[in-house]
Amino acid sequence: MAKRIAYTGPPVLTLEEVARQCRVEVEDLQPELIELIIIPGVTAQCEARTGAAIREATYEEEWPPAYGSGHALDVGQVKEVQSVSVRESDGSLTALQVPHVLQHSARESFLIFPAGRPPGRLVIRYSAGVDLDAYPGVKSWMLMHAATAFENRETLIVGTIVAELPTSYMDSLLAEVTVPPRF
């Protein structure tokens, strides 16, 4: 499982976009609620649902020796491999200068070592983040969920029946970036 090291890009949604989706003026919003709770929450929800990096970030994952050249990286929407290292027996990392190629399918990214996979436990650091121009449905999904979170800020709604939009419609907005299960 890849570990996110840090977000490196700006948030995917802006305060203005969320205000427009909620049909309110920016001045009528609580900026802290939107920027510190709703936008990060919707981003995390989208990343968890798809397995793809939505907001650009740096990730690190370890490959056991059984993972061969051409194995899929854990996170979808990889942009570039920053480094490949081997974990030494004392736990330290040694950077490797090995040729590698990042190959993309529709939803996944595969790391290929043309000269053969280096031996040992590899630590791969890479940047990933979705291209919203290529996948505009992702932003639509996030805006709809941000508006829902703004309108319904608690986890329980008492005395009201709430109906969701059909899951097939909502999930189809994320289908192009959803990483398939691997187990």
- Confidence at 175, pLDDT banded by 50, 70, 90: confident
The predicted pLDDT at position 173 comes to 67
Task: Work out the percent of the chain whose per-residue pLDDT is above 70.
Answer: 88
The predicted pLDDT at position 86 comes to 97
Tens of pLDDT, residue by residue over 26-66, are 888 889 999 998 999 899 989 988 999 999 999 999 999 99
| CA-to-CA dists, residue 20 to 28, 40, 89, angstroms | 11, 18, 54
3-state SS class at 142: helix
Question: Does pLDDT of 10 surpass 90?
Answer: yes
Across all residues in the chain, what is the average pLDDT? 89
Tokens 């959803």, located at residue? 178
- Per-domain residue ranges of the chain: 1-182
The predicted pLDDT at position 78 comes to 97
- Confidence at 149, pLDDT banded by 50, 70, 90: confident
Dig out the tokens for 58 from the structure. 């740096």
Tens of pLDDT, residue by residue over 74-113, are 999 999 999 999 999 999 999 999 999 999 987 899 999 9
Phi, psi at 151, each rounded to 5° = -75, -35
Identify each DSSP E strand in the chain by its residue range. 3-7, 57-63, 71-72, 78-87, 93-96, 101-104, 109-112, 121-128
Q: Contact, 118 vs 68, CB < 8 A?
A: no
Question: Does pLDDT of 183 surpass 80?
Answer: no
Angle, helices 136-151 vs 39-50, to 10°: value is 130
Q: Contact, 78 vs 128, CB < 8 A?
A: yes
